[in-house]
Amino acid sequence: MHCDYEKMVERFYTTHLNTGDRCVDVGAHSGRHTVPMARKVGRKGVVVAFEPLDTARSSLVQSLAAATLREALGKVIVHKCALGEVEGRTSFVVVDNLPEYSGLRERIYDVPVKKRLVEIEIRTLDSYADEIGAVRYVKIDVEGAELHVLRGAQHIIDTHRPIVSIEWGDNSLANYPYDSPEMARHVLGMNYRIMAITGEELDFDGFVAAAARQAFWDYILVPQEKWADVRWP
């Protein structure tokens, strides 16, 4: 059975975000989630979005402009960079025929792709801590670099304890220096619990097995102290 995982992610955060909340979209692409997030938090809320690809970021800005003409959106701040655990300049793999597969490293592709390298800026999420403020939710979809992003967001995670969603699967990890067990250890070590996008809690072994099978595309990381407040839509 085909699952619309993007719609499931949207259903989750629109259930848990409130008017005035602050949230982050890492790997915003053309705004598939930035716009609904901004809609949900309303005029008093803030969304900080990160997208290094010029074409995708241009589409994102256009989508935001069009939506703003129709409805009340929260303030959206768009940054032209990727996120990781170190800062500087780095190469970025652009997949022209499947731009959503673009990322810091090549991944396992399930169809033939046309690739090229560009140079981009990379920052840490913590370097934007003052701008982001008391963040409630962080969405990360960066084709395998999710653990790098989490490591570069340790101050924000320790301080504000946001709920985090990640897209994750072993196919995206082929050229990264870590694996799914290392991600599970990192998440559990932050005193977070792991939930599949379907609502099922996963322990260490369950997450590793699901990532190997590509059983789900997305996972929700919930602080232990907020677990009882999570409502599955």
pLDDT for residue 108: 86
Q: Angle at which helices 204-213 and 180-189 pack, to 10 degrees?
A: 140
pLDDT for residue 202: 97
Give residue 69's region: left, alpha or beta (phi > 0; psi -120 to 50).
alpha
Q: Name the pTM for this structure.
A: 0.96
pLDDT for residue 111: 87
pLDDT for residue 232: 77
Report residue 27 as tokens.
């790997």
**CB neighbour list of residue 104: distance below 8 Å, 6 or more residues apart:** 82, 84, 90, 91, 92, 93, 122, 142, 143, 144, 145, 148
pLDDT tens, per residue, the chain with 233 residues: 458 999 999 999 999 999 999 999 999 999 999 999 999 999 999 999 999 999 999 999 999 999 998 998 999 999 999 999 999 999 999 999 988 899 999 998 888 989 999 999 999 999 999 999 999 999 999 999 999 999 999 999 999 999 999 999 999 999 999 999 999 999 999 999 999 999 999 999 999 999 999 999 999 999 999 999 998 76
Q: In what order do the strands lie in the sheet with 46-50?
A: 75-79, 46-50, 22-26, 137-140, 163-167, 218-223, 192-196, 201-202
Closest to 207 in 3D by CA, of 221, 228, 223: 221
pLDDT for residue 1: 41
